[in-house]
């Protein structure tokens, strides 16, 4: 049997919905696990990405940690795939883009009604700083393939992965390319 391919997955500014849809490949995951080994992923809880064949990135880039992780994935993954509407377009988090990030933080954590007394904008040095805008990941690193959808259908994940495992350029038929 040939060596298993290494796959890493991550959710940046995403909701993990793409990961859930990925798991909707159901029993096919048993077939998949015969051929791939997961590296960094919420499925393994490995925290840093080693050398991988395929990286699946869900979510856009909304803070400094997202940029760091995305660059780590690009450095370690031979093939990097943008998964889902947020990774490809910025998606829901990008709806904040026309607004000023300082105004948003001020309203959400400080000035809106219903907050506890003394509420203030979180400033723990361990918190990653938000970027002034949310960006699709192809604006930060080179992306090899794109899997659109909110989330992409499980069959689209399966098609993409089986194409890549077979050494083919992934191609998605009608119904597997969707933006919603």
Partner 1 sequence: MSEPSHFKLDGEDIPCRPGQTVMQAAQAAGRYIPHLCWHPDFAPHGSCKICVVKADGRTVAACTFEARPGMQVENRTPEMDDHRRRLLNMLFVEGNHFCPSCEKSGNCTLQATAYELGMANFHFDHFFPDRPVDASHPDVMLDFNRCIQCELCVRASRDVDGKQIFALAGRGIRSHLIVNSASGRLADSNFAVSDRAASVCPVGVILKKRVGFAIPIGSRRYDAAPISAEAQPSPPPAQGERP
Q: List residues near partner 1 by CB under 8 A.
A: 82, 85, 88-92, 94-95, 97-98, 133, 135-136, 138-139, 143, 145-148, 150, 171-172, 174-175, 177-180
The residues facing 112 across adjacent strands are: none
Q: What DSSP element (H or E) covers 72?
A: helix 64-76
Q: Is residue 87 classed as helix, strand or coil in its secondary structure? A: helix
Q: Provide the residue count of the chain.
A: 180
Least distance (Å) between residue 154 CB and partner 1: 15
Nearer to partner 1, 6 or 170 (CB): 170
Least distance (Å) between residue 171 CB and partner 1: 7
Nearer to partner 1, 40 or 91 (CB): 91
Nearer to partner 1, 8 or 134 (CB): 134
Least distance (Å) between residue 61 CB and partner 1: 12
β pairing state of 130-135 and 145-147: unpaired
| Contact between 82 and 57 (Cβ < 8 Å) | yes
Least distance (Å) between residue 128 CB and partner 1: 21
CA distance 46 to 42: 8
Nearer to partner 1, 47 or 174 (CB): 174
| Contact between 56 and 79 (Cβ < 8 Å) | no
């Amino acid at each position: 049997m040939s060596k298993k391919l290494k796959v890493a997955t991550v959710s940046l500014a995403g909701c993990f919905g793409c990961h859930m849809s990925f798991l909707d490949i159901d029993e096919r995951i048993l077939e998949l696990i015969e051929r791939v080994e997961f590296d960094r992923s919420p499925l393994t809880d490995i925290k840093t990405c080693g050398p991988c064949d395929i990286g699946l990135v869900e979510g856009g880039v909304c803070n400094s940690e997202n940029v760091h992780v995305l660059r780590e994935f690009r450095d370690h993954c031979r093939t990097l795939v943008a998964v889902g509407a947020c990774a490809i377009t910025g998606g829901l988090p990008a709806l904040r883009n026309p607004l000023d990030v300082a105004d948003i933080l001020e309203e959400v954590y400080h000035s809106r009604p219903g907050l506890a007394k003394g509420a203030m904008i979180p400033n723990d040095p361990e918190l990653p700083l938000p970027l002034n805008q949310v960006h699709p990941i192809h604006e930060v690193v080179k992306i090899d393939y794109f899997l659109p959808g909110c989330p992409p259908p499980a069959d689209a994940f399966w098609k993409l992965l089986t194409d890549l495992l077979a050494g083919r350029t992934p191609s998605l038929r009608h119904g597997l390319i969707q933006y919603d």
